[in-house]
Structure 1
């Protein structure tokens, strides 16, 4: 998604609104649990404030991800809003507690890196297909959401194994 400096300088007190579909290449190779995602529907509103441009963006898409517990694929709708401040004058490029103003170094201005960053922050860090996902059996590997296995998966802390043996011996005597 690109916008020209000439167009940005022409807006004056108005707001420039752009609506586009954006495709981000290669994100699936960077994010392990991301399988694919639909093209992003992006809306950007750019307004001028002195020598700074305030970019307010919104993106929407649907991503297919892999559940971290059971390894099944599922779709998750993604929506986020983001903002950036840009300037073409080095004297106005600054970083304060409230905001960071990025210096525009090329014309046209490519908004794709900002869209990409917003998309990465929107993806679930540890995707789970549902709140009560039972995951995979650590012994036989079946998806416990689909099949009930009879594996004994109870783990005993090795530091307490002697205590477990003591309980087993005394329980057998009773």
Structure 2
């Protein structure tokens, strides 16, 4: 979705208010574990300050994720704030979002913000117990009969040292 910024660039306007809804299909999968499942709402403005142009906005959406502990799907509300500098100078394209022919691709900005602000590990609940390392049962749903005293074979020698003392 592209936004035309002619009036702002030519300084006929101080700012452009944004109230945009980006359909689900335009963003889609952030990665193989996170899929956007509701339209992305973007509210804010694009404004110029002296010789610079900025995008200031809040985005909201909902995603379906896979928990890193129990591997179950869960839904997560996503809310992020965007504060980005925009440029019409091709030499600054690496540092800022580029306004090409007085148009900004807002979908690219939103996509990047969503990817960069995702947590490293997604969990369905802070108290998620995950899967049993021995039998693979989901410990949130049922208890397993595996020995809880299992030790990583790489650390077994350390246990022997403790028993000798």
SS across alignment from 1:118: helix
Unaligned 5+ runs, structure 1: 168-174
Q: Which residue of 2 aligns with 1:81?
A: 81
Which residue in the other structure is 1:170 paired with?
A: none
1:65 corresponds to which residue?
Answer: 65
Does residue 155 (structure 1) correspond to residue 151 (structure 2)? The answer is yes
Residue ranges of structure 2 left out of the alignment (5+ in a row): none
Q: Which residue of 2 aligns with 1:48?
A: 48
What per-residue deviation string (whole Å, max 9, x for no partner) do you get for residues 76-96 of structure 1?
1110111112233569x599x
The 1:88–1:148 alpha-carbon spacing in structure 2 relative to 1, beyond 3 Å, is same
Contact kept in structure 1, 2:15 and 2:47, CA below 8 Å? yes
- Over 3 Å counting, the alpha-carbon distance change for 1:89 and 1:127 in structure 2 is closer
Q: Distance in 2 between the 1:122 and 1:94 partners?
A: 21
The alpha carbon displacement at 1:104 in A equals: 2.6
Hey, what's the Cα distance between the residues in 2 that align with 1:59 and 1:44? 9
1:139 corresponds to 2:137: no
Equivalence for 2:99: 104
- The alpha-carbon deviation at position 150 of structure 1 amounts to 0.8
Which residue in 2 is equivalent to 1:39?
39
TM-score, normalization: structure 2? 0.80
- Whether the aligned pair in 1 keeps the contact of 2:27 and 2:111 (CA below 8 Å) is no
TM-score (norm 1): 0.76
Seen in structure 2, the aligned counterparts of structure 1 residues 158 and 36 have a Cα distance that, compared at 3 Å, is: same
What RMSD over aligned residues (CA atoms) do the two structures have, in Å? 2.8
Q: Report the Cα offset of residue 144 of structure 1.
A: 0.4
